[in-house]
Structures are given as C-alpha cells and as structure tokens.
Amino acid sequence: MYIIDRRLNPGGKSFANRQRFLRRAKALVQRAVRDNFKSRSIKDLDQGGEIGITRQGVHEPTLRRAASGGQRDHVLPGNKDYLEGDTIPRPSGGGGGSGSQPGQGGDGEDEFRFVLTKEEYLDLFLDDLELPDLAKRRLMDTEAKEIQRAGYSTTGSPASLAVARTMRLSLARRLALRRPSASEILELEREIARLEQQGGHESQITALKEEYERLVRRNRRISYIDPIDLRYRRYESNPKPVAQAVMFCLMDVSGSMSEHMKDLAKRFFALLHLFLTRCYSHVDIVFIRHTDRAEEVDEQTFFYSTETGGTIVSTALEEMLTIMRQRYNPADWNIYVAQASDGDNMGSDSVKAATLLHDEILPACQYFAYLEVGREEDPMPTGTAPRPSDLWRTYETIATADGHFVMRKVWHRREIYPVFRELFRRRGSNVRGGAA
Amino acid sequence: MTADLPRGRTHPLLFSGTDWDFDTIRRIYEAVEEAARNELGLDTYPNQIEVITAEQMLDAYSSTGMPQLYKHWSFGKQFAHHELVYRKGMRGLAYELVINSDPCISYVMEENSAMMQTLVIAHAAFGHNHFFKNNYLFRQWTDAEGIRDYLEFAKGYVASCEERYGQAAVEQLIDAAHSLMNQGVHRYPRRQRLDLKAEEQREAERHAYQERFYNDLWRTIPTGAQQASRQSEDKRRALLELPEENILYFLEKTAPKLAPWQREILRIVRHVAQYFYPQSQTKVMNEGCATYCHYRIMTRLHRQGSINDGAFLEFLQSHTNVVAQPTFDTPYYNGINPYALGFAMMEDIARICNDPRDEDREWFPDIAGKGDADNVLKHIWANYRDESFIAQFLSPRLIREWRIFHVLDNANKNVLEIAAIHDERGYRRIRRALARQYDIAWQQADIQVVDVDLAGDRHLILQHEVVNGILLAEGDTAQVLQNLATLWGYNVILREVDPATRKVLKEHVARATPAIAA
C-alpha cells in the first residue's frame, strides 16, 4: 500500500483542454463577453466572471433515442395512494412523461454557463485591438539602463568576490596538484611521535621524518588559495526598453456636463486604462478637470464633485503640458491623452487651444483621443447632423490623417465600446483588407 | 472529545478530532484493512491512496476520472462546467474517486476530516476495489493492469498525430469518434482477455500489416460471370463480418478512406469506451457493494473501539445522506439513487440469509435461511450486473418498503396509466420493469451496420431496431450520421425499422463531404 501526496503536483492539468474549449467556442464566448460588458460597472470591468453561451454551439451529439413519442416505462419509489389501473394526467412540460427518467434533461437548458478567469476575459475582450505606434516608440526609447549579472571575471573589487566560485576553483587546483592535507601531515606527525616513544626502528623514523619534511614543504609551496583562483561577479548595464505609459484624462466639469455625460466619459477612460495596463508594465493616470481654470485632482473628485464656472479648454491643455514637463519626460514615457467634453468652449479660446494641441501636445504624445459626449435624450440623427459644437469645429481643423489624433461623438453607453474598438482596431488587418 | 464508553474496546483509538496527517492515514488504512479482511474477507488489488486538492479533483472529474487522457476540448468543457457548479456551491465534490487499475488508485481530498478519510478508504480502497477485482464484467472487459500504460500511450499517440497532421484534423476526427462512442463497444465477448500493455507494439505490427492489407472494397478485377445475387450478398456480408453493432470497430477495420493514424485514433476511443462499458452496467451493484462494505467496516471499527462515538455519529450522518432515496414527488427527486437501492438490496439479502420470513423462503429458496450472508453477497458481487441483480434479488418486502410503482406512458394516450403497485400482482412486474431500466441493451438504441452497397456507390447501410415505437432524436442523429459519412467516405443511410412488421418507420441520409483531412 502506498500513500502519495499529490497536492504539490503542478495544477492546471486541464489547462490545455480548457484552452481548446475556449478556442472552439471563441466566437460564441467573445459575443457573450461583449454582451456581458454592457451590464458591468466600471469597477469590476477587469474582473473575470460567469458567462453563458448557447448550448448548441458546444453540443456533442450522440445517437440516442428521442425524448418524446412511443411507449415508455417509469418505475418510481414513494407511491402514496395510486392503485393499479389508475390514470393520472400527463404532467406538463415535455411530452416525454414525468421527466423522471435520468438522462432526459440536457435538452431543456439552452445555455452553457461557466466562469472565465480575469486573463481569459480580458484576452477575449481586447482581442484584435492594438495601440498605435507602440512598437516604434519602444524601440526608439532605450535610454534607461539596467544592471544585470553577467557571469564572472578574474578582476574586480573585493566587495564583489564570488566566494563559492573561488573556493571551488581552489579545491580543484589543490586536488590536481596533490597538496597534502592538514590531516595527512598531522597523522604522520603522530606516527613519528608514537614510533619515537616506543623506540621504533631508527631508519624507519628517519624515513618518516624526511617524508614529513617533504609534505610540509609541499604544503607551503602550494598555497591554499592562490590569486589564480579568485573570481569576481561581473555586472553589465543593459539598455532597458521603456515600457511605461502615462494617461492624461481631461474632462470638462462645468455645469453643462450632466451625470450621464460624466458616466460616458468615465467608461471611456476606464476602457483606455484597462487597455494600457495590458500593454505596459506601468501606467500612471493623471486626472485633470477644468472649468475656466484647470487643476489636477484625484479620481474621486474627478468624477463625482461638481464645479461651476465657464469653460476654457486651453487651461486644461496648459495644465497637462505643465505636468508633462515636470514629471513625464516624453523621451521616457509613452503619453496618451483622452479628453472628454460636451463640446462647449469660450469662443475666443478655440484658436489658443488648437495651437497648443497642434504645436506642443501632439508632437509629444502617442495618441490623443477626443470624445464628445452628448445628452442621452438626444436622438441619434442619421441624415441631419446637428450643428457641430465649437470645440468639434476647432479640433476638426487639426485632425490628421495618420490616426495620431482622433475624435468621436457618443450619446449612449452602448456606443462606448464600439467607438473604443474602432479607435484601436488593429491597423495591419485594415491594410490587408484594403489591399485585397 | 467526550469520554469514550468502555465497551469491548480491544483496539487503540485511531484518531480523535478531525485532523489527520499521513501517519494517521497509514494507521487508518491498516485498521480498515484488518476489518475488511476479518469482517468480510474482501479480496482486493493492492491499494494506492493519493491525497489531492479540490482543484485536482476537478481535473480528475473532467477527464472522466482517468489519471490521464488525450487532450480534447470536450474535457475542457466538462471542467468549466464542474468548476462553475462547484464554485457556486451548488454541488460539493465527491470525497473520493477510484480508478479501476492494478494497483487500484483512490483519490482522497485533503479537505476531508479524519473520519471522512476512514470512510473513503473503506468505501473506495476496499469496497470498490473488491468489486473491480471480482466482478465478471470487469474481469472480462477491462485490463486493470494495462490501463495506465495504455492511456499513457494513447495520450502520446494523439499528441504526436496533432504534431504531424495538425490539431484541427485530429480534433475533427475525435469529435466524430466521440459521437459514436456508445456504438463503439463489443457487447459480447469475442476474444481473449484484453492486453492493453501490448497495444503499442501491436499498433506498429498492424501498421506493417496494413501495407499489405487486402480490402474487398477495392477489388477491381472482374470476377467473370455474375453469380446469383442472393449468394453474393451473403458472401459479401460474411466477408465484411456483417451485421456489426460496434460501428467504430467496423470503421477502423473497413472504412476505405481512413489513414492508418486515423484508424488508430478510432481504436483508442473505442478502447476507452470499452473500458467504461462495465461501469455503466454495474452502477447499482458497484456503489451498493462499496456502501455495504464501508457500513460494515465502520461499524466494526466503532465496536472494537478504533473510532469514538463522535466520529461514528459523523459517519452515520454522512452515510444516511448517501443512502437517502427521495420519493418521486419531492422536488429534488432525480431518479433512483444507486447507492440507496444497492445498499438496501444488499442489507435485504443479508436479512434473507439470516432471518427469512415465509415469503422470503418462497421467493428465494436458494438463499433464504442459508446463513453465511457474506459469501452469498460475494457470489452476487462476482457474478451479476445491475439488470440481473435486480431481476433476481429485488424482494417483495423492499418493493413494499419503498412503495415502488410502475407507470406506463404511451404517447398515443393523453393520460399515464399505473401498471403495477406493491401488491401480489405487481411484485414481479415491477421487478421486471425496474431491471429493464438497468439493462443497457434495452436502454440504448440498437443500431447496427447491416450492409455496404459494394456494387453501387459504396454507401453504408445502418439499421435501428425500434423498440416501443421510440425513434432516434432527429437533430443529433443527423449530426452523428454526418460525422459517420465523413469517416466512411461515402454516403450513409440509417433506417429505423419496426421489429415486428419490418416496416421502415423513418430514413436518415447523410452525404459524404470531401474526405476528412489526412
């Protein structure tokens, strides 16, 4: 009899099968994930969760009898008052009889539900999206240095002496040169002393003494640790690719922005943040709110406190530039800016804002997304677009063709995700599609 | 713990409280083994007990309880399902899982209390183990010694095929094979004991042989004058060994368009199906045997002072849950509980042996009053399956006690009819009806390959012998036939035939799509 503790065996034996399952049902799962997203609050946007897909999509057919028709027998326990020959009305729900026969279920449930982990959820959710120009910037910025171990060297400072390696080499050398060990010498010494005491043979003692001398000499000549044994740990400094990003969230919080609009903006910011955290090991967020003056605030204040005042967009842009100069050198940081507004701006400010954006911000940042949020009750006009807002018209003049700067307008929660996907759709596939 | 009552205590207490360590398990095992040998005289494979976590138990669930199996998405689906059900707390995990192999492997969960581990060892490592080793179905159909090596080979073989021919091709093939898994078992013994160990070597030999394989489907040489059609039809069927109910076997041997690796994978799926074939026929007996054994062993351990009153009460609570049988009208009724039925029948048999009434003497003249219940039970465990066990040993007393009744459900009538209840007229009818529910030949559709149109377009002809007017489920059948047509390479026709009138009630046709990627 053996008792084996398997608890420490690597888990995840089913991992490969699970991946195959997800791959097989990918289209279904992806649709479920996107549906699921609509009903989620921002806080748990990046959690895993339970989703359901149609059972038919992952059904495994077998040759089996139909659940209805024909003549069937049921044998049941717990008869209360039936007598032979009694008749009972057919229970509703399926013509298959009392539904008591095991194995009849399975047809009824139309959903197969299971839990996705956080990683699986996000992978499916953000599948086929990518950040524009990410690779290029990563390669360009290799300023930062990182110290790395790089083997051993024969020279170095005493502080970086590799003791274990040195001792190993010393031992090898002593063995190779047959350096007599201390215990060997001691034993010989004792032997001589014993012989002298017992009055051993003269010639034998002399021979032993000569041998003793030889060993001591050899011991002295071959040192215990020799300079050629010494090894030092070697370090090299490697250029480290920049994999950090900062995300500026700019939002108009003047009185004209309703809770609904803020909610739209927040959803967009949350999505962008989620996406950035998957691409960069480190993402900073800076919240800048503005009315007719701008300030950096924490998240809570950003989304939930109201301010009154006019609307001057350039103040927010200026504030952003100031913070960028102070803390986020564009050479080291990938800079993303997302601006949300209802489109109001003081007329005279537009030119200034456009200039700031075009001359200073756009050259420094990776991507600038402007999201114009509308009131929910506004109908989505198909043919007759409403008059574009002040800010929209200003920004339109600087919108570039390379997708560096984008602007979109949304009215309703359900549009956020499509807009987001549209902005970050993988460009490569686009090009291929166009060429074909 | 409470003070133990000094009551014939001859053995030291094995544990107190719920905690255990590996030393405790060893002591428990030794005590259970002693009880199993002395009390019941069980004959088992050597045991291997493996302690696992809940996650590993989920893993084991999703590979249908096998220690390892080839990779396939359907196992991932199983896993996802079990995981959800477990996480939501809708269902607990089994406390143990036992594998019919030599040595017999029992998985026990680390969360179990010391009492639970005792129960699990008694139940799985002795009860199930004895049944696996002695029941004739398992002896005939499974090779406990070779199964682990075979699974290892199967897993490696499928993986190497995926590497050579692509995951998609292998997955498509296994999908098709799985859909025919129920039609992939031999139901009647036709050859010697399986030797799964030699399978790997035989795969190589078979490969070499198939290079020189003669397949009548490919005969192109004209045979001169056409013989009488009737005679050639018989000859053809004999050549192809038709009719054949093991469809996977037939495909493996005869399908003209399959590559050798595809045949081998069909063979692997078929072997796995065959391995589980006895289990599906002995659910009541297997669980009943294990439950009966654990009950006897635990009682003995308590009587001799190895476990204290607290642990014994904990055991009784868990045992009563296991053998509870809700009546048909409760909301959580889910068919007859095999643990409950098996245990109740075995207790009843022991009673008939030791303390029979007149009725029992009349119904069971062979065993009533014979005494020696253990040997009677051991004989039953060795030589019966669920269907024959119930047909022979369900006693009138148990039918009365459970108040079992038989309902007839005819789709042509709009009411259900009570056909029999627990009275003199009903006992035998109920017993027969219940036994039939466990008869796999009665429960599964009888589908056979009956002919191949060799002279024409080589389409394959299958036949379903319709029982009680119940046809096949339409949607699934169409899908499975499509799979079958892909494997066979030509069209497939399935006729559903009324056994009395030989009238074709329904015909399904599947057209062959371009051959499965080879």
pLDDT > 70? residue A316: yes
- Tell me if B344 is assigned to some domain: yes
Among A251, A275, A277, A247, residue whose Cα is nearest residue A265: A251
Q: Kindly report whether the peptide bond that precedes residue B103 is cis, defined as omega within 30 degrees of 0.
A: yes
Minimal Cα–Cα distance from B115 to chain A, Å? 17
pLDDT > 80? residue A143: no
- CB contacts, 8 Å: A16 with chain B: 71, 76
Minimal Cα–Cα distance from A121 to chain B, Å? 14
Query: Does the beta-carbon distance from A90 to B178 stay under 8 Å?
Result: no
B360 and B450 together in one domain? no
Residue B3: pLDDT band with limits 50, 70, 90: very low
Rounded to whole angstroms, the Cα distance separating B401 from B351 reads 14
- A122-135 confidence digits (pLDDT tens): 777 777 666 665 54
Residue of A nearest to B325 (CA): A77
Query: Does the beta-carbon distance from A82 to B405 stay under 8 Å?
Result: yes
- B317-328 confidence digits (pLDDT tens): 989 988 888 888
Minimal Cα–Cα distance from B349 to chain A, Å? 19
Structure tokens at A175: 């063995």
B404 and B451 together in one domain? no
Rounded to whole angstroms, the Cα distance separating A160 from A151 reads 12
Cβ proximity of A355 and A321 under 8 Å: no
pLDDT > 70? residue A428: no
Would you call A250 helix, strand, or coil by DSSP?
A: strand
Please spell the DSSP secondary structure of B233-279, one letter per residue.
HHHHHHHTT-SBS-HHHHHHHH-TT--HHHHHHHHHHHHHHHHHHHH
Structure tokens at B400: 């009365």
B358 and B390 together in one domain? yes
pLDDT > 80? residue B15: yes
Angle at A105 between CA B180 and CA B62, to 5 degrees: 60
Minimal Cα–Cα distance from B205 to chain A, Å? 31
Rounded to whole angstroms, the Cα distance separating B356 from B348 reads 10
Residue A369: pLDDT band with limits 50, 70, 90: confident
Q: Give residue A313's pLDDT.
A: 82
Q: Give residue B6's pLDDT.
A: 43
- CB contacts, 8 Å: A101 with chain B: 335
B46 and B67 together in one domain? yes
The b/e string for A335-362 (b: 16+ C-beta within 10 A; e otherwise) is bbbbbbbbbbbeeebbebbbebbeebbb
Query: Does the beta-carbon distance from B71 to A76 stay under 8 Å?
Result: no
Percentage of chain A with pLDDT > 70? 81
- CB contacts, 8 Å: A50 with chain B: 84
- Tell me if B395 is assigned to some domain: yes
Query: A62, A98, A109, A116: best mutation site toward chain B, by most B Cβ within 10 Å?
Result: A62
- CB contacts, 8 Å: A23 with chain B: 73
Minimal Cα–Cα distance from B2 to chain A, Å? 30
B437 and B463 together in one domain? no
- Tell me if B454 is assigned to some domain: yes
B434 and B380 together in one domain? yes
Query: A8, A13, A81, A92: best mutation site toward chain B, by most B Cβ within 10 Å?
Result: A13
pLDDT > 70? residue A334: yes
pLDDT > 90? residue A232: yes
**Which positions ≥6 away from B132 have C-beta within 8 Å?**
B45, B100, B104, B138, B144
Structure tokens at B117: 């581990």
Minimal Cα–Cα distance from B159 to chain A, Å? 12
The b/e string for B433-450 (b: 16+ C-beta within 10 A; e otherwise) is bbbbbbbeeebbbbbbbb
Domain of B110, in residue numbers: 22-135
Q: Which residue has the higher pLDDT, B61 or A434?
A: B61
- CB contacts, 8 Å: B402 with chain A: 77-78
- Tell me if B94 is assigned to some domain: yes
Minimal Cα–Cα distance from A383 to chain B, Å? 46
Cβ proximity of A46 and B409 under 8 Å: no
Residue B468: pLDDT band with limits 50, 70, 90: confident
B414 and B503 together in one domain? no
Residue A433: pLDDT band with limits 50, 70, 90: very low
Per the DSSP assignment, residues forming a β-bridge with A405 are A368
> How large is the average pLDDT for residues A70-98?
75
Sheet with A71-76, strands from edge to edge, namely: A71-76, B405-410, B415-420, A87-89
B28 and B122 together in one domain? yes
* DSSP strands (E only) in A108-202: 111-116, 145-153
> How large is the average pLDDT for residues B376-392?
92
Cβ proximity of A104 and A96 under 8 Å: yes
Query: Does the beta-carbon distance from B416 to A16 stay under 8 Å?
Result: no
Cβ proximity of B342 and B310 under 8 Å: no
- A387-425 confidence digits (pLDDT tens): 677 778 778 777 765 667 888 888 877 777 778 777 777
Query: Does the beta-carbon distance from A65 to B470 stay under 8 Å?
Result: yes
- A340-357 confidence digits (pLDDT tens): 888 777 777 878 888 888
Per the DSSP assignment, residues forming a β-bridge with B452 are B460
Residue of A nearest to B45 (CA): A1
- B404-439 confidence digits (pLDDT tens): 999 988 888 888 888 888 888 889 999 999 998 888
Minimal Cα–Cα distance from B328 to chain A, Å? 6
Cα torsion A214, A216, A217, A221 to 10°: value is 130
B433 and B469 together in one domain? no
Residue A112: pLDDT band with limits 50, 70, 90: confident
Cβ proximity of A272 and A336 under 8 Å: yes
Sheet with A367-373, strands from edge to edge, namely: A294-297, A282-290, A244-252, A334-341, A367-373, A405-410
Q: Give residue A391's pLDDT.
A: 78
Cβ proximity of B483 and B175 under 8 Å: yes
Q: Across chain B, what does the average pLDDT equal?
A: 84
Is A256 exposed, middle or buried (CB count within 10 Å of its CB: 0-12, 13-18, 19+)?
middle
Rounded to whole angstroms, the Cα distance separating B299 from B365 reads 30
Question: Which residue among A23, A85, A102 sits closest to B335, beta carbon to beta carbon?
Answer: A102
Rounded to whole angstroms, the Cα distance separating A305 from B106 reads 61
Rounded to whole angstroms, the Cα distance separating A132 from B384 reads 70
Query: Does the beta-carbon distance from A1 to B47 stay under 8 Å?
Result: yes
Query: Does the beta-carbon distance from B407 to A66 stay under 8 Å?
Result: no
Q: Give residue A165's pLDDT.
A: 92
**Which positions ≥6 away from A310 have C-beta within 8 Å?**
A254, A291, A292, A346
Class of domain A244-428: alpha beta
- Of B80, B108, B135, the domain-final residue: B135
Query: Does the beta-carbon distance from B470 to A18 stay under 8 Å?
Result: no
Task: Write the DSSP symbol of residue A160.
Answer: G
pLDDT > 70? residue B194: no
Question: Which residue among A7, A19, A63 sits closest to B76, beta carbon to beta carbon?
Answer: A19
Query: Does the beta-carbon distance from A61 to B179 stay under 8 Å?
Result: yes
- CB contacts, 8 Å: B62 with chain A: 14, 17
Residue whose tokens read 């139909």 = A66
Would you call B306 helix, strand, or coil by DSSP?
A: coil
| Radius of gyration of the CA atoms of chain A, in A | 39
- CB contacts, 8 Å: A14 with chain B: 58-59, 62-63, 75-76, 79
Q: Give residue B93's pLDDT.
A: 58
Residue B70: pLDDT band with limits 50, 70, 90: confident
Among B141, B271, B242, B273, residue whose Cα is nearest residue B448: B242
| Radius of gyration of the CA atoms of chain B, in A | 26
Cα A261 to Cα A39, A320, A376, B448: the distances in Å are: 18, 22, 8, 67
Query: Does the beta-carbon distance from B79 to A97 stay under 8 Å?
Result: no
pLDDT > 80? residue A192: yes
> How large is the average pLDDT for residues B219-229?
53
Query: B53, B62, B77: best mutation site toward chain A, by most A Cβ within 10 Å?
Result: B77
Minimal Cα–Cα distance from B136 to chain A, Å? 25
Rounded to whole angstroms, the Cα distance separating B335 from B321 reads 16
* DSSP strands (E only) in B331-465: 405-410, 415-420, 446-452, 460-465
Query: Which of A28-32, B116-120, B440-444 reaches the highest mean pLDDT?
Result: B116-120
- Of B135, B169, B201, the domain-final residue: B135
Query: Does the beta-carbon distance from B74 to A18 stay under 8 Å?
Result: no
Query: Does the beta-carbon distance from A6 to B325 stay under 8 Å?
Result: no
Cβ proximity of A346 and A277 under 8 Å: no
Cα B517 to Cα B254, B339, B347, B478, B484: the distances in Å are: 18, 46, 56, 21, 14
Among A356, A323, A353, residue whose Cα is nearest residue A341: A353
User: Picking from B145-154, B191-200, B244-253, which range would have the lowest pLDDT averaged per residue?
Assistant: B191-200
Minimal Cα–Cα distance from A3 to chain B, Å? 5
Among A186, A210, A188, A36, residue whose Cα is nearest residue A124: A36
pLDDT > 70? residue A241: no
- CB contacts, 8 Å: A95 with chain B: 411
Minimal Cα–Cα distance from A56 to chain B, Å? 11
- Of B413, B441, B469, the domain-final residue: B441
B362 and B408 together in one domain? yes
**Which positions ≥6 away from A285 have C-beta within 8 Å?**
A246, A247, A249, A273, A299
Residue B518: pLDDT band with limits 50, 70, 90: very low
Question: Which residue among B83, B336, B417 sits closest to A77, beta carbon to beta carbon?
Answer: B336
Task: Write the DSSP symbol of residue B49.
Answer: E
- B347-366 confidence digits (pLDDT tens): 999 999 998 888 889 899 88
Query: Does the beta-carbon distance from B33 to A102 stay under 8 Å?
Result: no
Compute the count of residue pairs across chains A and B with CB atoms less than 8 Å apart. Answer: 253
Question: Which residue among B328, B414, B415 sits closest to A78, beta carbon to beta carbon?
Answer: B328
Q: Give residue B231's pLDDT.
A: 58
Query: B22, B33, B73: best mutation site toward chain A, by most A Cβ within 10 Å?
Result: B73
* In chain A, where the domains are located: 160-235, 244-428
User: What's chain B's length in residues?
Assistant: 518
**Which positions ≥6 away from B313 have C-beta within 8 Å?**
none
Query: Does the beta-carbon distance from B47 to A76 stay under 8 Å?
Result: no
Rounded to whole angstroms, the Cα distance separating A271 from A267 reads 6
Cβ proximity of B116 and B95 under 8 Å: yes
Among B407, B278, B280, B393, residue whose Cα is nearest residue B344: B393
Q: Across chain A, what does the average pLDDT equal?
A: 77
> How large is the average pLDDT for residues A243-260?
79
Sheet with B492-497, strands from edge to edge, namely: B446-452, B460-465, B492-497, B504-510
Would you call A54 helix, strand, or coil by DSSP?
A: strand
Residue A174: pLDDT band with limits 50, 70, 90: very high
